[in-house]
Structure 1
Amino acid sequence: MKINRSVPPPTVVPILVYPDVRSAVTFLTTAFGFMERTRIGESHRAQLAVGDDGAVIVADVGGERRPPQLGGVTHLVRVRVPDVDEAFARAREHGAVVLETPVDREYGERDCTLEDLAGHRWQLAEVVADVAPEEFGCETVSPWPVYESGASS
Structure 2
Amino acid sequence: MAVHELFSYLCVGDAQAAIAFYCKVFDATEKFRLVEPGGRIGHVELDLGGTTLMLCEEFPEVEIRRPEPERGHSHTLHLHVDDADDVVARAVAAGARLAMAPRDHFYGERSGTVIDPFGHRWNIGHSIEQIEPEEMQRRYEQDPGC
Choose from 25, 45, 57 the match for 2:19.
25
Stretches of structure 1 lacking an aligned partner (at least 5 in a row)? 1-9, 139-153
Task: After TM superposition, give the deviation of residue 136 of structure 1 in Å.
Answer: 2.2
Task: After TM superposition, give the deviation of residue 72 of structure 1 in Å.
Answer: 2.2
Greater percentage in helix = 2
Q: Which residue of 1 aligns with 2:123?
A: 123
Query: Percent of pairs identical after alignment?
Result: 29
Q: Which residue of 1 aligns with 2:34?
A: 40
Write the distance in 1 (CA, Å) between the matches of 2:18 and 2:96. Answer: 12
Query: Structure 1 stretches (4+) deviating beyond 2 angstroms?
Result: none
Write the distance in 1 (CA, Å) between the matches of 2:23 and 2:133. Answer: 33
Write the distance in 2 (CA, Å) between the matches of 1:57 and 1:136. Answer: 32
Stretches of structure 2 lacking an aligned partner (at least 5 in a row)? 139-146
Task: After TM superposition, give the deviation of residue 20 of structure 1 in Å.
Answer: 1.2
Q: Which residue of 2 aligns with 1:144?
A: none
Asked if the contact 1:31–1:91 (Cα under 8 Å) also holds between the matched residues in 2, the reply is yes
Write the distance in 2 (CA, Å) between the matches of 1:64 and 1:34. Answer: 27
Task: After TM superposition, give the deviation of residue 32 of structure 1 in Å.
Answer: 2.3
SS in structure 1 at match of 2:65: coil
Matches within 5 A, 1:1-153: 11-41=5-35, 43-51=41-49, 53-62=50-59, 63-69=62-68, 70-137=70-137
Deviations 1:88-131 (CA, angstroms, capped at 9, x unpaired): 11111111110001011111111111011111001111011111
Greater percentage in strand = 2
Q: Which residue of 1 aligns with 2:143?
A: none
Write the distance in 1 (CA, Å) between the matches of 2:27 and 2:123. Answer: 14
Q: CA RMSD in A?
A: 1.5
Deviates more, 1:12-21 or 1:66-75: 66-75
SS in structure 1 at match of 2:71: coil
Write the distance in 2 (CA, Å) between the matches of 1:133 and 1:113. Answer: 23
